[in-house]
Structure 1
Amino acid sequence: MTDATTTAPTFEEMKAKLWEVNDPEINLSIVDLGLIYDVTYDDGDVLVTMTLTSPGCPLGPIIRGEVYAKLREIPGVKDVDVQIVWNPPWDPRTMASEDVKMQLGIW
């Protein structure tokens, strides 16, 4: 049960925190890259379902750690579970923001 003085964070608040996390290899937000598939909040616990730019991404543990740390900054968040999934596979042509597509040269 959430403390009466702390309200559950909104999806938008959690997404804003995740927007602060960049993929270190290309220095673009994981949200703008389309790597975040879902974020849910349940009684202090946050579940993030996301992917990486490739299954062999050597910086996956760093990104996962940053996602955890950023979401823990939100009042009312007690724990964060970051699930890395490979389905659907990440495709920047359909999942990345228009700004990211331009920066990556994807037309």
Structure 2
Amino acid sequence: MLVNALDKVIDPELNISIIDLGLVYDLRVDVRAKRIDVDMTLSSPACPMAAMLTGHVKIAANGALPGFDTTVHLVWEPKWNADHISEAGRSILGW
């Protein structure tokens, strides 16, 4: 359910979901604490869309699990590269 919600968050430059781009590294849900933690990266630390993307991730996660508090952690290790893109993402890109 959570992955499906995040799959709807689209990278505005490539027009592909952050899931298919491989930007989401880890999802943790603590049901007892009603907390969601998302570890994700960006294609570049200088990405001008960082605030927008992390905001959309929070909205999508909170929509999937109402009443939960979502924290997005931007991580830079491992460094993102095209190897993280899913087969569906590669198909969308025509690779």
Report matched runs for 1:9-88 at 5 Å: 13-42=1-30, 43-88=33-78
Q: Which runs of 5+ in 2 are unaligned?
A: none
RMSD: 1.4
- Give structure 1 regions of 4+ aligned residues with deviation exceeding 6 angstroms: none
Q: Could you give the per-residue CA deviations for residues 4-36 of structure 1, whole angstroms, max 9, x where no partner exists?
A: xxxxxxxxx111100000001111000000000
Aligned equivalents of 2:81, 2:40: Cα separation in 1: 13
Runs of 5+ in structure 1 lacking a partner? 1-12
Larger relative CO (CA 8 A, sep 6+): 1 or 2?
2
Between Structure 1 and Structure 2, how many residues are aligned? 93
Decide which structure has the larger Cα Rg and report it: 1
TM-score, normalized by length of structure 1? 0.80
How many angstroms does 1:74 deviate by? 2.3
Residue-by-residue CA offset, 1:28-71 (whole Å, 9 max, x unaligned): 00000000000001121000000001111100100000000011
| TM-score when normalising by structure 2 | 0.89
**Separation of aligned partners in 2, 1:76 and 1:102:** 33
